[in-house]
Amino acid sequence: MRVRNRLSRLLVVIGPGLIAAAAGNDAGGIATYASAGAQFGYRTLFVMVLTTAALVIVQEMCARLGAYTGEGLVSLIREQFPLRIGAFAVMCLIVANIGIVVSEFAGIGAAFELFGVTRYISVPIAAIVIWAVIVFGSYRYAERVMLLLALVFVTYPIAMIFGHPDWAKVGAQSILPHLLGQKEFLFLVVALIGTTISPYMQLYQAAAVADRGVGPDDYAGERLDSITGSVLANFVSMSIIIATAAAIGGTGPLASAKDAAEALKPVLGPGAEALFAIGLLGASALAAAVVPLATAYGVAEAAGTERSVSRTFAEAPLFLGLFTGQVVVGAVVALAPGNLIDLLINTQVLNGLVAPVILSFVLMLANRRSVLGEAVNGPVLRVVSGAAVGVISLLALIVFVQSVLGLG
């Protein structure tokens, strides 16, 4: 009976951690990981190992905040910090999430271009369909279909093996740093951090745990879910880097989605391009619906206004208006002329620049005994998490100085 009760509790809490971590393997994530392998071979694997550790720490803190307070991240920021600081955090979340929405519509455009359909047709139609599904249709059914399509990317770990990578190099460059001082390398590192530890994931993790009613008694299972989800998701991410490095490593930045599909050829053969396009479409469409929805929930929660997809525009103007606005902006920016792969990676850099702000709030909340009581961060976790946020912040600052101010 005791074993059955424990299993029942585990089944109740399992899910938010896996979903939140897997969200990083969307259109922007796939493009960034594949570009890392194509451009720098296995050199970014050491960064990914450290990023995996940081993701585990961050997602666990967010899960703990949700379980022990029963509130989402936005609510806690609103309660614990002055209004202006809280508003700044919300604005950072909006900016970061709009960047993700842009990348998802760029992913949709890239997927359809593999089938010979121009983005100027596919992106507007996709935006209308996604908006209509959320406002008028059955989102849960659409979510299942899109998740099924995105499962194509599970083939990357298989492609990694069939691609016959140099395992000695993989091991050496995963354990020891083989970093480069080039601007392009640092730029891509921040993009990797931005897509792996995306602000959207922290928002979702805490809110999902709180919404599901996971409490302190159930937290052991949720902690396992959070850690397992982070590790498994990053195993897939590293598989993408290794598979791409083995297939086209050293050829330079990706020029198109077609290049990203090359790593799947050892497993899928001539069908690699089509299946990659299907998976990219599923992952992109799912996130293009989920991310603006999560942002709308968070902002409406902070403002204390009505928030539900079952409401009309008259009943929930802020919630549905913000969702609509993000879809429109994301689709319009994705239609801008240029390389869609570059756009995907640039939006992940934007996430990497915003990430230190959100992570700082998560860290401060998890360090406050007034918030978490006995579940507050211990001395060791304070140091480790503080160091992780510090390093991410430093990298973001370097890239900001180089890219925005044009120095270095």
pLDDT digit string (tens) for 264-303?
Answer: 888 788 888 888 888 888 888 888 887 888 788 778 877 7
Q: If you average pLDDT over residues 104-126, what whole number do you get? A: 93
pLDDT reported for residue 342: 85
Does residue 405 sit within a domain?
no
Does residue 367 sit within a domain?
no
User: H or E stretch including 55?
Assistant: helix 45-69
Task: For residue 247, give both structure tokens.
Answer: 């297939």
pLDDT reported for residue 7: 42
Which range marks the domain in which residue 25 is found?
A: 2-355
Does residue 325 sit within a domain?
yes
Average pLDDT, the chain: 83
Does residue 375 sit within a domain?
no
pLDDT reported for residue 142: 64
Does residue 112 sit within a domain?
yes
Say whether 404 sits in a helix, a strand or coil: coil
- Predicted structure pTM score: 0.85
Q: Rounded to whole angstroms, what are the CA distances from 101 to 34, 42, 127, 403? A: 20, 29, 11, 22
Task: For residue 123, give both structure tokens.
Answer: 């992106």
Q: How many CB atoms lie within 10 A of CB 270?
A: 7
**Whole-number Å distance between alpha carbons of 230 and 235:** 9
Position 16 pLDDT exceeds 70: no
Radius of gyration in angstroms for the set of CA atoms belonging to the chain, rounded to a whole number: 20
Tell me how far apart the terminal alpha carbons of the chain are, to the nearest angstrom.
64
pLDDT reported for residue 1: 46
Does residue 362 sit within a domain?
no
Total of domains in the chain: 1
DSSP class of residue 41?
T
Position 11 pLDDT exceeds 50: no
pLDDT reported for residue 75: 84
**Whole-number Å distance between alpha carbons of 48 and 237:** 8
Tens of pLDDT, residues 185-200: 988 998 898 888 888 7
Residue 242 is part of a domain; what is its CATH number? 1.20.1740.10
Does residue 199 sit within a domain?
yes
Position 10 pLDDT exceeds 90: no
Greatest mean pLDDT among 34-38, 208-212, 252-256, 340-344: 34-38
pLDDT reported for residue 324: 93
Tens of pLDDT, residues 67-88: 899 888 888 888 899 988 888 8
Position 317 pLDDT exceeds 70: yes
Position 407 pLDDT exceeds 60: no
Q: How many CB atoms lie within 10 A of CB 181?
A: 7
Tens of pLDDT, residues 85-103: 888 888 888 888 888 899 8
Tens of pLDDT, residues 365-382: 999 999 999 999 999 999
**Which is more confidently placed, 197 or 8?**
197
Position 20 pLDDT exceeds 60: no
Tens of pLDDT, residues 393-405: 888 888 777 766 5
Does residue 321 sit within a domain?
yes
Greatest mean pLDDT among 26-30, 152-156, 205-209: 26-30
pLDDT reported for residue 197: 85
**Which is more confidently placed, 101 or 154?**
101
Least confident of 18-32, 48-62, 263-277, 336-350: 18-32
pLDDT reported for residue 165: 93
Select from 285, 289, 292, 294 the least CA-distant residue to 146.
285
